[in-house]
């Protein structure tokens, strides 16, 4: 049974970097950041492409963000997505997850979808909300934190990870939305010819007018949202830091472990 698959991707600042707060206090400094595809979204994309390869269908890679996110979409095309769609949204921080969810849901409504896949969380905002929020808005059946998806007849069988390594197994009819957990599969690397080809593939842009609204503000939220301030976390740490050259650090560490009785000789 060929499926219309939509995978929601987000381009995020590499979370391994160090961050400084912008003078406004309402965003991080962005001048020197580099961006990457959100971690769990890579697994969601791979899962979508594998389902397509096994059962047929089409994978649409969907994102919401500024022009720079096109590089991520081209990567997705090179890894097996058939079409790339960017909802052109210029709010670089995108801190209002409810707004994001509502715009994404409006965009998904205009695309054929049997199964929508998202990553379990974005590593920049860590809301773990977009998947189930979109499902709720669209009235789709939904399962979150999914580590395994099998197409069974006209539906799915999915494994949803719980705390402590246990899982709940569900069967779900289509259309549905699943949020994919880290480690669900092993994402592929894009082969070079596919990367070359993807540079020439079109990216469809969805502007507000395409969804029948004059601007994104016209997509109503049932609340007003404001960023009060961003700050470095309060240093509640009380770690005793061992400084010096690597040799000195190693020596002091060994000495401390001995003194505390952790060395058995």
Partner 1 sequence: MGKDILLLAEHFEGQLAPSTLEIVAKGRELAAQSGGVAKAALFGHDAGGLAQALAGYGLPVLLVDDASLSEYTGGGYGQAARALVESLAPRVVLAAHTSQGYDLAPGLAGAMDLPLASNCLDIRLEGDKLVATRRLLNEKVQGEFEISSEKPYIVTLRPGSTKRAEPAPGGQVTPMAVAIDPSQVREKFLGIERPQVSDIDIAAADVIVSAGRGIQKKENLAIIEEFAKILGGVVGASRPLTDMEWLPKTRQVGQSGKTVRPKLYIACGISGAMQHVAGMKDAGLIVAINMDPSAPIFEIAHVGIVGNLLQIVPLAVKELKG
In the region spanning residues 55 to 114, those forming contacts with partner 1, defined by CB under 8 A, are 95, 97-98, 101, 105
Instruction: Find the part of the chain contacting partner 1 (CB under 8 A) among 8-16, 64-72, 192-200, 204-212.
Output: 8-16
Contact indicator for 146, 179 with CB cutoff of 8 Å: yes
Contact indicator for 116, 177 with CB cutoff of 8 Å: yes
**Largest pairwise CA distance in the chain:** 74
Task: Candidates 103, 129, 180, 198: give the one binding partner 1 (CB under 8 A).
Answer: 129
Asked if 128 touches partner 1 (CB under 8 A), the answer is yes
Asked if 218 touches partner 1 (CB under 8 A), the answer is no
Dist CA 18 CA 109 (whole Å): 38
Asked if 118 touches partner 1 (CB under 8 A), the answer is no
Asked if 115 touches partner 1 (CB under 8 A), the answer is no
Task: Candidates 90, 153, 228, 259: give the one binding partner 1 (CB under 8 A).
Answer: 228
Instruction: Find the part of the chain contacting partner 1 (CB under 8 A) among 48-56, 58-66, 106-114, 249-257.
Output: 249-257
The span from the first CA to the last CA of the chain, in angstroms, equals 64
Question: At its nearest, how many Å lie between partner 1 and the CB of residue 212?
Answer: 18
Task: Candidates 65, 94, 131, 208: give the one binding partner 1 (CB under 8 A).
Answer: 131
Dist CA 6 CA 107 (whole Å): 11
Task: Candidates 64, 135, 198, 206: give the one binding partner 1 (CB under 8 A).
Answer: 135
Asked if 224 touches partner 1 (CB under 8 A), the answer is yes
Backbone angles phi, psi at 80, to 5 degrees: 125, -5
Dist CA 151 CA 259 (whole Å): 57
Question: At its nearest, how many Å lie between partner 1 and the CB of residue 211?
Answer: 17
Task: Candidates 6, 133, 180, 198: give the one binding partner 1 (CB under 8 A).
Answer: 133
Asked if 134 touches partner 1 (CB under 8 A), the answer is yes
**149: CB partners within 8 A, 6+ apart:** 47, 51, 156, 157, 158, 159, 178, 180, 184
Q: List binders of partner 1 among 9-38 (CB under 8 A).
A: 13, 15-16, 18-19, 21, 28
Task: Candidates 1, 196, 207, 257: give the one binding partner 1 (CB under 8 A).
Answer: 257
Would you say 164 or 214 has its CB closer to partner 1? Answer: 164
Would you say 175 or 208 has its CB closer to partner 1? Answer: 175
What's the token pair of residue 248? 């000195």
**106: CB partners within 8 A, 6+ apart:** 211, 213, 219
């Amino acid at each position: 049974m060929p499926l219309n698959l939509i995978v929601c991707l987000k381009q995020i600042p590499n979370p391994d970097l160090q961050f400084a707060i912008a003078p406004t206090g309402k965003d991080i400094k962005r001048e020197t950041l580099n961006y990457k595809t959100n971690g769990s979204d890579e697994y969601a994309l791979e899962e979508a492409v594998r389902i397509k390869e096994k059962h047929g269908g089409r994978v649409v890679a969907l994102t919401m963000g500024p022009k720079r996110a096109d590089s991520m979409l081209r990567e997705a095309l090179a890894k097996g997505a058939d079409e790339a769609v960017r909802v052109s949204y210029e709010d670089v921080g995108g801190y209002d997850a409810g707004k994001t969810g509502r715009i994404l849901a409006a965009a998904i409504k205009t695309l054929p979808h049997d199964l929508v896949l998202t990553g379990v969380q974005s590593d920049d905002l860590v809301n773990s909300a977009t998947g189930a929020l979109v499902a709720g808005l669209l009235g789709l059946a939904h399962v979150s934190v999914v580590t395994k998806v099998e197409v069974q007849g006209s539906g799915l069988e999915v494994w949803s990870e719980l705390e402590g390594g246990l899982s709940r197994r569900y069967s779900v009819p289509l259309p549905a939305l699943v949020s994919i957990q880290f480690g669900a599969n092993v994402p592929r690397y894009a082969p070079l010819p596919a990367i070359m080809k993807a540079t020439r593939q079109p990216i469809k842009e969805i502007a507000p007018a395409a969804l029948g609204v004059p601007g994104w503000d016209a997509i109503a939220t049932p609340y007003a949202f404001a960023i009060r301030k961003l700050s470095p976390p309060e240093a509640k740490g009380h770690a005793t830091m061992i400084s010096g050259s690597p040799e000195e650090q190693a020596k002091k560490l060994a000495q401390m472990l001995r003194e505390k009785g952790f060395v058995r000789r």
